[in-house]
Amino acid sequence: MILVADSGSSQSDWMLALPDGKRLAFTTKGLNPFFVNEKDIAKVIQNAEEITPYADRVSEVYFFGSGCTSPDRREMVSNALSQLFTHAFISVETDLVGAAYATCGNRKGYIATLGTGSDVSFFDGEEVLPTRQGIGYVLGDEGSGVWFGKHLVTSFLYDTMPADLMAAFRTKYRINKEIVIKNVYQRAFPNAYLASFAVFLSDHIDHPYVSELLKAGFTEFIVTNIKPFPDYRDYVCHFVGSVAFHFMEQLREVCEEHGVKIGKVLRRPIEELFHYIIQREKNYEIQL
């Protein structure tokens, strides 16, 4: 039985291939190893009631997650998974690798994530090549949920947001300076907290302030993360993530303005990723 996971900082999507040919899909909280330790990751997985009855029969686990960018982080996740899936081969890769499999398949192209955080890389048909991008929510994450949430919160606290939006924002969230500071600087998952405010953009999508903010965020993402690649015009760029999906129209406009050829836009890549892994493993078994 093969288990595939696509994990962001806010949510993890899982899909298991059952013996009868059906699939079991479930979700857990995000398992970014930069924000949760091995013990916490193991606890989340072990508390997932959907997978527990099948744990001993899972033979392969393919986990693709944000934050799995270094050998020690990947080992942390792998060790946590092995505590439940004791008989399974376990593979841990970055979420960009999973996104590349889900969108590019075996073709060359750029793959970008725009969800809680943001990142981009080039997939050469076999591997996701290393880049300077993906420096996290404090230093980067342009055009992500964190980026938009941060701008909304700061404009609210500084009282620079348009009056009508100020009133709506205050009613929806009922926050103040003290609440924000406590959640950002003293509590866990500050990136997910900031990204949660991005929902406000969908509620007021037709407001000029929101339109300008979306354009600014996507422009900064493209200028900072995509245009530095000298051949970015030669390949399609696929996007994965809730921000890219929900604001697809605005993203397309900015991409067109900057000469970026946009490809697939997936909210969550788990379906396509699961299909790719299952087909790849079947082909591998046949070749053997």
Q: What distance in Å separates the CA atoms of residue 241 and residue 116, rounded to the nearest whole number?
A: 8
Domain ranges in the chain?
Answer: 2-101+269-287
CA distance 104 to 263: 9
pLDDT band at 36 (very low <50, low <70, confident <90, very high): confident
Mean pLDDT of the 60-84 span: 92
Q: Which of 235, 139, 237, 232 is nearest to 191 (CA)?
A: 139
Place of tokens 């696509």: 6
C-alpha neighbours within 13 Å on the C-beta side of residue 165? 23
- Closest by CA to 119, choosing from 67, 165, 180, 169, is 67
Q: What are the start-end ranges of the E strands in the chain?
A: 2-7, 11-17, 23-29, 60-65, 89-94, 109-114, 118-123, 236-240, 261-266
Mind listing the pLDDT tens digit for each residue in 238-280? 999 999 999 999 999 999 999 999 999 999 899 999 999 998 8
Q: Which CATH architecture has domain 2-101+269-287?
A: 2-Layer Sandwich (3.30)
| Neighbouring C-alpha atoms within 13 Å toward the C-beta of 28 | 22
Burial class (CB in 10 A: 0-12, 13-18, 19+), 247: buried
Tens digits of residue pLDDT in 88-136: 999 999 888 999 999 998 899 999 999 988 989 999 998 888 888 777 7
Question: Higher-confidence residue: 67 or 195?
Answer: 195
pTM score of the predicted model: 0.84
For 125, the 3-state DSSP assignment is coil
pLDDT more than 70, % of the chain:
98
Buried-state track 4-36, b at ≥16 Cβ within 10 A, e below 16: bbbbbbbbbbbbbbeeeeeeeeeebbbbbbebb
Place of tokens 């009133």: 167
